[in-house]
Amino acid sequence: MLEIKNLQASVGGNEILRGLSLDIKPGEVHAIMGPNGSGKSTLAQVIAGNDAYEVTGGSVRYENEDLLDLDPEERARRGVFLGFQYPVEIPGVNNAYLLKAALNAKRSHEGLDEIDAFEFLKLAKEKMALLDMDPKFLNRGVNEGFSGGEKKRNEILQMAVLEPRLAVLDETDSGLDIDALRSVAEGVNALRHPDRAIILVTHYQRLLDYIEPDFVHVLSGGRIVRSGGKSLALELEEKGYDWLKEAANG
């Protein structure tokens, strides 16, 4: 589904990703872990198509297409979803409006009619109930005045409504209290599906107690330095990230 080969990317002239390779198949959940500055968020932004990040080498193929050739909106319509570490506030743009516009953009790409207003509302409310969200959030500006936890729930709500093929969740656990973490994890687990792949970008092992990954990768210095099963996350929790510096330099 997603093949990343020798990816190199820089931001503001600083090289962040230095030859990252990763292969992801439908149905799999991959956790990308690593210390601050290792390139985790850069990877997420590059997959989503943020042009502030310059790809200087390597390739990313998604469903047999060159992903890097597509605009961010084209990637989204093909089922690539990024859950932001810092979801953006957009005052005045109604949350329900965005949700519906996003869904219709995807449906239109798939050759489907626009969803009717009643069906949309039913769908949105059903997903909100799953995430323990007050339906009032639909009528507010996108993330406008939301708390950190509300913003993250809103990201997962968008994911739940859009049903992406590939979801990249960037530090979805940061800033969440334990209840919020639980309902967010529940939302993610509900979306696990043989046709869908999920990439969890996280600094801490905590999230992985609630969403069990199939694979864990350790990112350091812009490269994957170790891959393994979920036990690797526990090992990291125990040993910290310091040992990686030696591995990366060596």
CB 172 within 8 A of CB 200: yes
Question: Shortest approach of another protein to residue 88 CB, angstroms?
Answer: 4
Name the site residues for another protein (rule: CB under 8 A): 48-50, 52, 71-73, 75-77, 81-82, 84, 87-93, 98, 101-102, 105-106, 109, 141, 158, 162
β-strands 2-11, 29-33: how paired? unpaired
Of 77 and 223, nearer to another protein (C-beta) is 77
How near is the Cβ of 194 to another protein at its closest, in Å?
A: 24
H or E segment at 153? Answer: helix 148-162
- Cβ proximity to another protein, 102 vs 225, nearer residue: 102
Q: Which is nearer to another protein, 30 or 106 (CB)?
A: 106
Cβ at position 143, least distance to another protein in Å = 9
In whole angstroms, how close is the CB of 177 to another protein at the nearest point?
24
Task: Collect all residues with Cβ–Cβ distance below 8 Å to 245 and sequence separation of at least 6.
Answer: 220
Alpha carbon distance 181, 187 (integer Å):
10
- Token digits for 194? 């043989």
Min separation Cβ 150 and another protein, Å: 16
Nearest to another protein of 20, 82 (CB atom): 82
Residue with the two structure tokens 């992406």: 164
Residue number, 165 or 223, with CB nearest to another protein? 165
The answer to whether the beta carbons of residues 100 and 115 sit under 8 Å apart is yes
CB of 32 to another protein, least distance (A): 18
Dist. CA 153–CA 39, nearest whole Å: 24
The residue (of 47 and 208) whose beta carbon lies closer to another protein is: 47
Tokens 């979803």, located at residue: 81
The answer to whether 78 touches 63, Cβ cutoff 8 Å, is yes
Give which of 154, 227, 159, 168 is closest to 46, Cα–Cα: 168
By beta-carbon proximity to another protein, the closer residue of 106 and 223 is 106
Output the smallest distance, CB 106 to another protein, in A: 5
Q: Is 66 helix (H, G, I), strand (E, B) or coil?
A: strand
What is the distance between the alpha carbons of residues 54 and 248, in angstroms, rounded to a whole number? 23
Q: Which of 225, 168, 239 is nearest to 202 (CA)?
A: 168
